[in-house]
Amino acid sequence: MPVIDMQKKYRMTAVPYTGHCRIVVVEAGRNRFGVLANTASEMVGILPDEIKAPPAAVTGDRASHIKNVAILGQGKRLIILLEKGNLLTEKEFQTLSTVEGMEKSKGRTKEKTTRGESVKSFLIFQVADHEFAFDMGCLVEVIPYKIPSRVSKAPSHIRGLITVKGELVPVTDLRLHLAIESADAAVEKHIIILRESKRIHGIIVDRVTEILQVPEQSLVAPGDFLKGINLDAIESIIRLETSERIPMVLNLEKAVA
C-alpha cells in the first residue's frame, strides 16, 4: 500500500515524526492508500453549518486536495477537510503499478469478513500502562481533554460534566473506576464520547492510538493473570497473532456504572 508524506507532497514546514506517528488508511474509489500523520488526535462530529467553502486564495489545481474548511469553537479553530480522491491521483497509482504487490491496494471494498470469519472494529486507547478497547459501534467522537464541572456528591470516579454539542455528558475517570495502578499521570489526555443505549458518557483516556479490526475468534475471555487493575469491566481480550499486545475490551455499561 502506498503511503503519502503530506509534509513533502505539499511542501509543509517539516515536523519530525515521533512514536505518536500514525498512518491513516484511506479508500478513494477503487484505490486504497495511507496518509502519514504526526498524530491522530481525535474523531469529531462536524455540523453542516460549520463547513465553509475554502477561500479563493487556496483554490485551483495546487489546492485540489482541499475540499472545505470547518470552523469550530466559535471561530477559534479551523480544520481543513481534504478531498481524499485528490490526495493520490489515478495517474500516480498507475506510476506505482510496477511495484510488486500494488495490485492488492486496488479494487478492494470495505471488508466485513476475513477468510469467512466475522470481523469487529475496536477503538484502541491507553490508560497508564494498560491498553483498552471499545466497540466502534458505541463511539460518538473523541475530543481533546477539557476540565469537567464538578458535581456535588457524585462518586469519586465521576470527574464531572462537560457539554458536547449542547448535551450534558458525565465524565468517568477510568484510573479511579478500574483501580488502575499508575506511577504518574499522563500529560496528553483525551475524552472518548460513547453512547450506551440512549445515554452518552465521556471516558478520560491518556491516548487514543488506532482503530483495530479483528476476527471475532480473536476475542478471548480475560484470565486472572492481569495485575494492577479491577477486572469487573473487562469483557474480553483481543489476541493478536502478530504482536504481544493484549488490548482489553471494556463493557461500556460496567465501565461507566
**Band of residue 116 on the pLDDT scale cut at 50, 70, 90:** low
The predicted-structure confidence for 188-211, as pLDDT tens digits, reads as follows: 689 999 988 888 999 999 888 888
CA 101 to chain centroid: 28
CATH, residue 144: 2.40.50.180
pLDDT at 162 over 90: yes
DSSP code of 106? B
Mark whether 124 and 61 lie in a shared domain: no
Residue 106 has a pLDDT of 55
Is residue 82 located within the same domain as residue 147?
no
Please state, in angstroms and rounded to a whole number, the distance separating the CA atoms of residues 250 and 123. Answer: 11
- The set of residues, in sequence order, having a beta carbon less than 8 Å from that of 163 and lying 6+ positions away, is 169
Q: What is the extent of the structural domain holding 42?
A: 3-110
By the 10 Å C-beta count (0-12 exposed, 13-18 middle, 19+ buried), 252 is classed as buried
Residue 106 has which C-alpha cell?
486496488
Tell me: do 154 and 106 sit in the same domain.
Answer: no
pLDDT, position 2:
87
Could you tell me which residues come within 8 angstroms of residue 64 by beta carbon, excluding any fewer than 6 positions away?
Answer: 83, 86
Kindly state whether residues 216 and 132 are assigned to the same domain. yes
The Cα–Cα gap between 37 and 179 comes to 33
Q: Looking at 78, 93, 110, which one is the last position of a domain?
A: 110
Q: What are phi and psi of 46, to 5 degrees?
A: -115, 125
What pLDDT is recorded for position 160? 92
Say if residues 181 and 128 touch (Cβ distance below 8 Å).
Answer: yes
**CA 171 – CA 193 distance, rounded (Å):** 9
Residue 22's pLDDT band (cuts 50, 70, 90): confident
Angle at 90 between CA 65 and CA 84, to 5 degrees: 30
Same domain, 135 and 218: yes
Query: Number of folded domains in the chain?
Result: 2
Whether the Cβ atoms of residue 36 and residue 21 lie closer than 8 Å to each other? yes
Instruction: Calculate what percentage of the chain has a pLDDT beyond 70.
Output: 87
- The tally of CA atoms less than 13 A away on the side-chain side of residue 246 is 13
The x, y and z cell numbers of residue 25, run together, are 488508511
Residue 27: pLDDT over 50: yes
129 and 222 share one domain: yes
- Which one-letter amino acid corresponds to residue 180? I
Q: Which of 57, 90, 110 is the last residue of a domain?
A: 110
CB atoms within 10 A of CB 193: 24
- Summarised one tens digit per residue, pLDDT across range 45-104 is 888 999 999 888 777 777 888 899 999 877 888 999 998 888 887 788 788 877 776 665
Indicate whether 74 and 195 sit together in one domain. Answer: no
Q: Are residues 100 and 153 in the same domain?
A: no
Cα separation, 65 vs 84, whole angstroms? 7
pLDDT of residue 17: 92
64 and 38 within one domain:
yes
pLDDT at position 183, please?
60
- My answer on whether 161 and 229 are in the same domain is yes
Q: Please indicate, yes or no, whether residues 140 and 249 belong to a single structural domain of this protein.
A: yes
CB 204 within 8 A of CB 235: no
Q: How far apart are the C-alpha atoms of 24 and 2, rounded to whole Å?
A: 11
Q: Are 169 and 140 in contact (CB under 8 A)?
A: no
In this structure, the answer to whether residues 84 and 142 fall within a common structural domain is no
Q: Which amino acid is at 169?
A: V
Amino acid at 9: K
- Last residue in a domain, options 95, 110, 125: 110
